Structure 1
Amino acid sequence: MNLFVFGLGFSARHFSEDQRARFGTVRGTVTEAARAERLAAETGFTLRAFGPETDDSRIAEDLADTDILLVSAPPGPGGDTALARYREAIAGSRIRWIGYLSTIGVYGDQNGAWIDESTPAIPKSARSRERLAVEEAWLAFGRETGKAVQVFRLSGIYGPGRNPIVKLRDGRTQRIVKPGQVFNRIHVADIAATLAASIARPRNGAVYNVTDDEPAPPQTVIEYAAELTGLPLPPAVDFETADLSPMARSFYGENKRVRNRLIREELGVRLAFPTYREGLAALVADAERAA
């Protein structure tokens, strides 16, 4: 069984490395040829350059030799670049499972309410509207071809090298307080476990929320990270006066509590890190063992 990944970013790389033993070959794409060479040397995967402005003529041949396709690249101009360029190659291949990594941002602002996969998607930002359009394109492709297409809506991703502890150590985080604001999160290892469970139980047209059990205020997570590590706690900053990029500020314009019952009941997923507490504690323990 061979894997191909469009967009070998943080989550897709972790999945590919975590599940490496089950795949005969792992191939994938990044946007630049130089980065493809560097990552190929680091991972042992076969990497191609691919993006809105780049392409590698060997990708069509790779897809013909693929069983599992993971799409993690962000939308390009006008939609999903992979689907636009390789629709026929994928349709005519032996690929039996396609996973598209999306975002819970497609639900938009829910005023702090609990939501699940039955909640209508009402994306607020342009990037989330693009994500929803790509979701719909891949799901339509699954209906047309009979290929099992699954959509995974991810909450805030964290894991080794990308988490509040790293930001505290680097002095790159603020303890922003916006009353009533909560976010869900998901450890990258639990994303990998969910994808593996879906490959074992494909369902064409499935949409899953991949998220932890406990939405929490962002300042609470920073406080817990500081408590675990003994690092200095940044001063509290009111959201209205915080120095934030337009994109970062837009995240605070969406407030929701996301349920993950479907991955548990349908796929049998048991989260290794059901809340940020287990996830951050494990990251600290891993760092201490490596020291």
Structure 2
Amino acid sequence: MKHLLILGAGFSGKAIGETFRDAGFSVAGTTRSAEKAEALRALGVEPILYDGGAISEALAADMARATHLVQSIAPGKDGDPLFRTESPALSTLMPKLEWAGYLSTVGVYGDHKGGWVNEDTVLNPVSARSVERVEAENHWLASGEASGLPVAVLRLAGIYGPGRNALRNMEDGTARRLIKPDQVFNRIRVEDIGGSALFLAQKHLGGVWNITDDEPGPPQDVVAEAARLMGLPTPPDIAFETAELSPMARSFYGENKRVSNAKLRAAGFDFRFSNYRQSLAELHASGRWRG
């Protein structure tokens, strides 16, 4: 049986795990807490406790049988845990590996003042976290090239889905319409992250791939659509300049770009949720928006 190991089975990792499980894979995923471990087990994902440091015997044993790998642990000051100087080579840790995917971010492109970018666009990361992502991407791509293994870098747009979406924010009273002229964001439904990872794995495709839906758009439009679906008043406009935001939230507005998914579509991938209106309508109608 094909076996997938997910390093960092969080929101995206769990969706990937469910997608691969439904395709007949056995799946294991790492988590930092025993509470989250039980949630993974309930999804049919075998949990492995791992804090991103030294590789335990249990994790090493699962690595030894993994045919597929998804790395979703964000790099930190010490870098990607699989490429630290004390870490054994990937081929030693995972001798059966057939495909690996690294979850990155469209943040590596930096700011393009609303212009379109694709996988060939020169990277210009702004934030420290995006600079770290570029370094990790390069490690993974170089490792794949050296080993002859297909390694796919999945550059993810802003992630949402069941339990994490504008409908939920409307119910919670946390939805805000921040207005910054000409600002757009790119987004992706979490199930399409799972689907695209499986698509790339089954086709043994490596290289860089943008994982984003068809329609970059102003964030305030998403809030307005959620309000319409729920029959609630649209929250008032708030000028970006006067809004109270955390430094991280404000930094997201410092990057403005439209990310193309043309490469992934040309390869044959069909998105289940190609834009936020279709996606929010499905979440609302199915009742899954609460998670």
* TM bracket, shorter-chain basis: over 0.9
Is residue 82–residue 90 contact of structure 2 (8 Å, CA) maintained in 1? no
**For structure 1, which runs of at least 5 residues remain unmatched after alignment?**
none
The one-character-per-residue Cα deviations of 1:66-102 (angstroms, maximum 9, x if unpaired) are 1010111111332101333654254451101000010
| 1:177 correspondence with 2:179 | yes
Is residue 31–residue 54 contact of structure 1 (8 Å, CA) maintained in 2? no
Shift of 1:133: 0.6
The 5-angstrom pairing of residues 264-275 of structure 1 reads: 264-266=265-267, 268-275=268-275
**For structure 2, which runs of at least 5 residues remain unmatched after alignment?**
none
Is residue 283–residue 289 contact of structure 2 (8 Å, CA) maintained in 1? no
Provide the residue aligned with 1:231 in structure 2: 232
The one-character-per-residue Cα deviations of 1:100-132 (angstroms, maximum 9, x if unpaired) are 010000000011101111101110000000111
Shift of 1:144: 1.6
Is residue 17–residue 45 contact of structure 2 (8 Å, CA) maintained in 1? no
The 5-angstrom pairing of residues 1-291 of structure 1 reads: 1-32=2-33, 34-53=34-53, 55-84=55-84, 86-91=87-92, 92-204=94-206, 206-266=207-267, 268-287=268-287
Partner SS, residue 213 of structure 1? coil
Is residue 135–residue 151 contact of structure 1 (8 Å, CA) maintained in 2? yes
CA pair 218-264 structure 1, distance change in 2 beyond 3 A: same
CA pair 87-150 structure 1, distance change in 2 beyond 3 A: farther
Shift of 1:41: 3.7
RMSD: 1.8
Q: For 2:41 and 2:144, how far apart are their aligned partners in 1?
A: 34
The one-character-per-residue Cα deviations of 1:235-286 (angstroms, maximum 9, x if unpaired) are 11000011111000000000001110000112x1111111111111110011
Per the normalisation by structure 2, the TM-score is 0.93
Partner SS, residue 57 of structure 2? coil
Shift of 1:288: 7.8
Shift of 1:143: 1.4
For this pair of structures, how many residues does the alignment match?
287
Per the normalisation by structure 1, the TM-score is 0.93
Partner SS, residue 3 of structure 1? strand
- Identity, in percent, stands at 43
